[in-house]
Structure 1
Amino acid sequence: MDSTSPDSDPGSDPRLDAPGEAQAAPAAQAAAPGGPAVYFDGLSNRRQNVMIGFANQLVMRSADNFVSWPYEDIRRVDGPSGTLRVSCLSASPLARLEIRDAALSAELIARCSHIDQHRLTRGGIARIVGWSLAAAASIIAVVLFVIPFAAERLTPLVPPSMEKHLGDAAVVQIHSLFGDKECSAAAGQAAFAKLVTALRRPADLDDGIGSQVLDTPIPNAFALPGGRFFLFRGLLDKANDPDEVAGVLAHELGHLKHRDNLRQLIHNGSSSFLIGLLFGDITGAGAAVFASRSMINASYSREAEEAADSFAIEVMHKLGRPTRPMGELLFRITGKEAGKQPALWSSHPLTEDRLARMRAADRPASGPPLLSTEEWKALKGICK
């Protein structure tokens, strides 16, 4: 006996319609509506207004462009508040999509199972900070310990011809900074040459040394790589006798003898490179670099300055001339330095300390005067 009601229609059985409805639900989900977004292709700074859609991939359409990104390649990147900014592993590294609509953002996030896979966690940030600090500490260690050691070892290996070339280049800079007006009064030049020759012999330096007096009011004297040194008129104006000038010149000859300027050039060049690498071009880094360089170079320079002072004392003793005048001239120029700046930051020993050392090493004059009264007068007037 047929149990089916004669009025029933198999096509209207709800149980037959159920499978069709079940298939329609995923289809409706796949066809979720899209909306507007902003796209940057990573190849230019052009902003593109696009319409995004959610199919088997994220699609982006504009009047002249069509782009699709696989959902599994999409990653969240930092963006402004209220904006979802994403990139794609399989697209240009700089390509970005920005979605400001909250519903669209939520739809995309729901479809991208790996969107936050590479975002930094606290542990990741801590590791980056840790490695950055370790790198900074390594650079500082290299600047403080390795570079001075390397400069000490490399300096004797530099041939004199190369050192002279560096010195010649530095002379051009000296003239551009302080002027190239050389003091050339004949009698003064003769007196200056006599003084340099008297100092050069006990210093055991050959006659290839070049020396000049420049007409500038700065009271200073300094040496350059390759056997060159300068005396400024300002220092002659401050000096009271030849022994004061001789002590300062003997100090500069000490720098030439020890090749301190070449060693400092290697040291400072390497330090500048590494400190620049450490700080980069961050705003305000210049002040940090300056402060770091000052402190890093301080102990290195003081050691060289003290060695040059020792050399000057030795030369003056060999000539039978007093050492105290050099210290008095330096003190007259700089005045009392204690308390003006921390000793750690000073590239030279404090003038008070140098004066005390020169006084302690002073001996009564046992050799002839380095210049006669007339020669000293001529040297003082070499720029007139």
Structure 2
Amino acid sequence: MPTERGATSVPSPPSGGSAIFFDGTSSQRRAVTLRFADRLEISEGERTLGVWAYADIRRADSPPGTLRLSCVTAPALARLEVRDATVAAELVARCNRMDENVPGRGVAAIVGWSLAATASIIAVVLFGVPLAADRLTPLVPDVFERRLGDVADGQVKALFGGKVCDNAAGQQAFAKLVTALREPAGLDPSVQSAVLATPVPNAFALPGGKVYLFNGLLAKAENADEIAGVLAHELGHLKHRDNMRGLIHDGGTSFLIGLLFGDITGSGALIFASRTLVTASHSREAEQNADDFAIDIMHRLGRPTKPMGELLFRVTGKEGEGLSIISSHPLTEDRLAQMSREDRPASGPPLLTPEEWKSLKSICGPDPKL
């Protein structure tokens, strides 16, 4: 309609507009049309997706340039996003309770639900994941575990030079020692073992039945009982399938702790620290069980248990001053104390003759180039 000269036309309020709608029950993003009637009507084509009373509409957190709205009577996750400034202004004018706190959706509720979620995840990490690992480990096929062991075997040999000590007399003595321990351990002859030429004083088991003794540890040993105890410990890990259990446990723990802290700035250290504390506790339990297994094997063979503890203490020294809470093993002095308490006088024959022990000590050669 024409206006009088000099008069300013006042635009009528919009009857509707466009927006983006999330219905709160799916992640689908819908382009919708808004109609301002007695209530706000949200439509997609000819279909009405929702009708919101203006008094029930509340403002939600949103980025600049976007008005994001929720409704107290709609699903909790339902959202309406308006980017048209004119439509947004009309909504602000009609929704006179837009900025009121929503009962049950305020800061206190958010904090409460967050704490509950955190407590649930912590409970699952501490109790659910270990239980799941214990239940799932026996279900893993042996062939799959052996494949993992083969992969790990290649990595270990690449890391430590890959040289397997092959002195014939030493190999014969080592095989005799492993067989003497394997039989009371209840493990079949498929167990593979070898001595690697590396100065690192260590021994470990791999998934699928592989045990490695490092010449660095053999060099520090003073008798066959010391090495026998360490090998019995590693056979305990094989018997209990600790490698596979640890893989399942650590994978589940990492996922849940990452879910707990989220991908936020500065969370990396917290995730690492939390994961370390949880997995270290699990590892200490496995190590303690392997120690108990080794003690039992040595008792069955009529051999003393204290020598193993003495070898470990000789290698590591006293550890009490360190951060024992994040250690994956029990403290060496505690292990020595336990093995001393469990020690019995030798009642069985020596596991190796003096000549065989000498051959084992020189399995990597009389002057190995490590």
Give the TM-score, by structure 2 length.
Answer: 0.74
Contact 2:14 2:90 in 1 (8 A): no
Match for residue 319 of structure 1 among 301, 320, 339: 301
Q: Distance in 1 between matches of 2:101 and 2:171?
A: 71
Alignment of 1:202-217 (within 5 A): 202-217=184-199
Number of the residue aligned with 1:229: 211
Contact 1:76 1:119 in 2 (8 A): no
Contact 1:337 1:350 in 2 (8 A): yes
Match for residue 66 of structure 2 among 86, 100, 125: 86
Correspondence 1:177 to 2:159: yes
Number of the residue aligned with 2:292: 310
Number of the residue aligned with 1:351: 332
Q: Distance in 2 between matches of 1:335 and 1:316?
A: 23
Number of the residue aligned with 1:271: 253
Q: Distance in 2 between matches of 1:265 and 1:329?
A: 28
Q: Distance in 1 between matches of 2:228 and 2:100?
A: 68
Q: Distance in 1 between matches of 2:90 and 2:157?
A: 67
Deviation (angstroms), 1:365: 1.9
What is the Cα-based RMSD across aligned positions, in Å? Answer: 3.5
Deviation (angstroms), 1:298: 3.2
Deviation (angstroms), 1:58: 7.8
Deviation (angstroms), 1:284: 2.8
Number of the residue aligned with 1:259: 241
Deviation (angstroms), 1:145: 0.7
Match for residue 371 of structure 1 among 352, 358, 366: 352
Going from structure 1 to structure 2, the CA distance change for 1:183 and 1:120 (only over 3 Å counts) comes to farther
Q: Distance in 1 between matches of 2:155 and 2:262?
A: 26
Contact 1:178 1:216 in 2 (8 A): yes
From the CA coordinates, give the structure whose radius of gyration is larger: 1
Contact 1:143 1:271 in 2 (8 A): yes
Deviation (angstroms), 1:157: 2.3
Contact 1:76 1:116 in 2 (8 A): no
Correspondence 1:196 to 2:178: yes
Deviation (angstroms), 1:94: 8.6
Q: Distance in 1 between matches of 2:182 and 2:92?
A: 84
| Secondary structure, counterpart of 1:201 in structure 2 | helix
Alignment of 1:101-112 (within 5 A): 108=89, 112=93
Q: Distance in 1 between matches of 2:110 and 2:253?
A: 25
Going from structure 1 to structure 2, the CA distance change for 1:251 and 1:112 (only over 3 Å counts) comes to same
- Stretches of structure 1 that go unaligned for 5 or more consecutive residues are 1-19, 32-53, 60-67
Q: Distance in 1 between matches of 2:111 and 2:61?
A: 19
Q: Distance in 2 between matches of 1:253 and 1:224?
A: 10
Q: Distance in 2 between matches of 1:279 and 1:177?
A: 33
Number of the residue aligned with 1:295: 277
Contact 1:77 1:85 in 2 (8 A): no
Q: Distance in 1 between matches of 2:261 and 2:158?
A: 30
